[in-house]
Amino acid sequence: MKGKKNTGGPFSYTFRKKAAPWCILALPMAFTAWLKYYPILSAFFISLFKYDPINPPGKFAGLSNYIGMFKMQYYWDAWKNTFIFLLLQLAMCFFIPLIQALFLNELIRLQKCLTTLYILPALIPTSVNVIIWKWIWHPDYGVANQIIKFFGGQPQAWLSDPGLVKFCIIFPGVLGGGLTVLLYLSAIQGVSSDIMESAALDGCTGFSKIFRIILPNISFMIFIQLIMCVITTMQLLDAPYMYASGGPSGASTTQGIFIYNAFNQDLNYGRGSAASIVLLFVIAGLTMLQMHFEKSEKE
């Protein structure tokens, strides 16, 4: 029949409209499954064996890698250090970028200039940043001890002191902000001008405007940054390793360093894979808990 639109068949408009997104996403989804989920399944498989890289997979061990790992005090010390790093990160570095963004938003002049200055440190490689701060924390000629001596205090060992090494690793983030500041600033500037003007007319200014208008309207960004902060800190590896290689006396050994040492020093692939799987489930549990609380607050 002439003029009738073809709505059926494998080459119809409706079919092509539905199939097009899947055709576009097929290759990315395949690579994601291959490069992301296949390694997770492989890690779980390896964790069940006394893995032999020469004759893989080696002797089947069941859950013995997990049981042996749970009996290690070194493993639980790594968990303790990881959670202490997480608390320090949240206390010292999570809210400061938000405060910086709130102040930047109030500036009329030099806002773009200061925004650029905040983003520049993020361009410095982590290794260079660590070298600079290791010089600052040096017990003999470091700037930190020079400042303490100026005020009459006693020099500290800093990175060689088990009680101070975690603080020394996290503290550089207090002075930063980087991309997080820009994300917060963009979210703040994205708040509707009508809402801001209505609040000003109602006399809602200063801290009242921040707590009643701005923060509730950017809560989605704060929540996302909180999740990312928890995930990245639970996986912390590079900074503690470059600062102190997990020392002194294991005081800065995180789960990331424990897993790295299991693979590269002990050559125990089964234990390293088991620790990776446990860390995966802990991070997934914390993320789901955060999302549950966020959903409860919205309801």
Asked if 104 and 185 touch (Cβ cutoff 8 Å), the reply is yes
* pLDDT surpasses 50 at 27: yes
Encoded tokens for 275: 């620790």
What distance in Å separates the CA atoms of residue 234 and residue 230, rounded to the nearest whole number? 6
Encoded tokens for 199: 């609040």
Q: Which amino acid is at 236?
A: L
Residue 285 to residues 25, 207, 233, 257: CA-CA distances in angstroms?
28, 35, 15, 21
In the predicted model, what is the mean pLDDT of residues 108-122?
Answer: 77
What pLDDT is stored for residue 1 in this prediction? 46
Which sequence spans correspond to the domains of the chain? 22-62, 72-298
* pLDDT surpasses 70 at 10: no
In the predicted model, what is the mean pLDDT of residues 133-149?
Answer: 91
Backbone φ and ψ for 59, nearest 5 degrees, come out as -80, 135
Residue 196 to residues 80, 214, 215: CA-CA distances in angstroms?
44, 9, 12
pTM of the model: 0.84
What distance in Å separates the CA atoms of residue 101 and residue 177, rounded to the nearest whole number? 9
* pLDDT surpasses 50 at 121: yes
* pLDDT surpasses 70 at 248: yes
What distance in Å separates the CA atoms of residue 262 and residue 237, rounded to the nearest whole number? 13
Share of the chain above pLDDT 70, in %: 93
In the predicted model, what is the mean pLDDT of residues 222-247?
Answer: 90
Tell the CATH topology of 72-298.
MetI-like fold (1.10.3720)
* pLDDT surpasses 60 at 6: no
Confidence tier at 240 by pLDDT (50, 70, 90): very high
- pLDDT tens sequence across 151-205: 988 889 999 999 999 999 998 887 766 778 888 888 888 888 888 888 778 777 7
